[in-house]
């Protein structure tokens, strides 16, 4: 069974974590909600929620909590305080051996680290900001960038990192001109090959519940749903 909170934290870490009462308050430094969301770390009461809110605001962050399947009580307490559900997320996974066979066609993918300028440019064109690149830089486990190519053009990019026997893929982006042409498919297979070469038996990834196109791709590769979570924000 995949420990999604630990896997996500290891492969896409916040800039810092602060223990505040019964909470872990993450400092994202502008890199998005995944690295900025607070979670419960112990026994809490409704009266403790303002403590977490104050800590997040002191970091210049709007209050946001991550809700895992075991957090039903926190979910209800936040809903009662006016927090709304944001971005329900689904986790998919598959054995690396299955994803890596067949391998992507020759010269369609290029695993490397640190990221080439063209890989960074593709991310920036997709809207990924420098703060998210800083997340990749601070990952302390084995990692790489997968650059996808279509003909002689850079067409897509993703980041993959390893935690134990599981690798997680993040920040998959394909340039609009090359979508639905197999680039994402090739990147996923290359990520599985890289993960397999580094001792991983599973490749996982996260996608928003609403992203029907991406979810169809993962299902077509026989990836299975292995977990879910969502955020609560004001």
Q: Is 199 in a helix, a strand, or coil?
A: coil
The distance of Cα 169 from the centroid of its chain, to the nearest Å, equals 7
Record the tokens describing residue 234, joined without a space: 């004001």
The tokens for 203 are: 């490749």
Rg (alpha carbons) of the chain, rounded to whole number: 18
Q: Which two structure tokens, joined as six digits, stand for 33? A: 């909600």
Domain residue spans of the chain: 4-89, 92-228
- Terminal Cα-to-Cα distance of the chain (whole angstroms): 32
Return per-residue pLDDT of the chain as tens, 234 residues: 899 999 999 999 999 999 999 999 999 999 999 999 999 999 999 999 999 999 999 999 999 999 999 999 999 999 999 999 999 999 999 999 999 999 999 999 999 999 999 999 999 999 999 999 999 999 999 999 999 999 989 999 999 999 999 999 999 999 999 999 999 999 999 999 999 999 999 999 999 999 999 999 999 999 999 999 999 999
Is the preceding peptide bond at 114 cis, omega within 30 degrees of 0? yes
Q: Selecting from 3.40.630.30, 3.60.150.10, 2.30.40.10, 3.40.50.150, what CATH number does the domain 92-228 have?
A: 3.40.630.30
- What does the block give as tokens for 55? 């800590």
Q: What is the pLDDT of residue 92?
A: 98
pTM: 0.96
DSSP-based three-state secondary structure for 48:
helix
Mention every residue, 6+ apart, whose C-beta is less than 8 A from residue 158. Answer: 145, 146, 148, 169, 170, 171, 172, 173, 187, 188, 191
Kindly report each contact of residues 51-57 with a partner whose C-beta sits within 8 Å and lies 24 or more positions away, as own/partner. 51/20, 51/21, 51/23, 52/20, 52/21, 52/23, 52/25, 55/18, 55/20, 55/23, 55/25, 56/25
Query: Which residues touch 101 (CB under 8 Å, ≥6 apart)?
Result: none
Q: Cα-flanking dihedrals φ and ψ of residue 30, to 5°?
A: 85, 10
Contact of 167 with 204, CB cutoff 8 Å: yes
CA–CA distance, 222 with 234 (Å, rounded to integer): 36
Q: Is 94 left (phi over 0), alpha (psi -120 to 50) or beta?
A: beta
């Amino acid at each position: 069974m995949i420990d999604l909170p630990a896997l996500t934290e290891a492969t896409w870490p916040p800039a810092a974590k602060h223990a505040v009462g019964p909470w872990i308050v993450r400092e994202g430094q502008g890199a998005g909600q995944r690295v900025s969301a607070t979670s419960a770390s112990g026994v809490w009461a409704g009266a403790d929620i303002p403590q977490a809110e104050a800590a997040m605001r002191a970091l210049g962050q709007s209050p946001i909590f991550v809700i895992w399947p075991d957090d039903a009580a926190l979910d209800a307490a936040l809903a009662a305080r006016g927090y709304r559900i944001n971005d329900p997320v689904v986790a998919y996974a598959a054995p690396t051996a299955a994803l890596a066979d067949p391998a992507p066609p020759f010269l369609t993918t290029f695993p490397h680290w640190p990221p080439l300028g063209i890989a960074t440019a593709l991310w920036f064109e997709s809207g990924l900001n420098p703060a998210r690149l800083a997340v990749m830089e601070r990952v302390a486990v084995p990692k790489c960038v997968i650059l996808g190519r279509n003909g002689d053009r850079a067409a897509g990019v993703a980041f993959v990192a390893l935690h134990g026997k599981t690798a997680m893929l993040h920040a998959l982006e394909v340039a609009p001109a090359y979508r639905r042409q197999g680039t994402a498919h090739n990147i996923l297979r290359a990520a599985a090959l890289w993960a397999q070469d580094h001792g991983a038996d599973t490749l996982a990834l996260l996608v928003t519940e609403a992203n029907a196109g991406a979810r169809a791709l993962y299902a077509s590769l026989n990836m299975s749903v292995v977990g879910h979570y969502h955020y609560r924000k004001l």
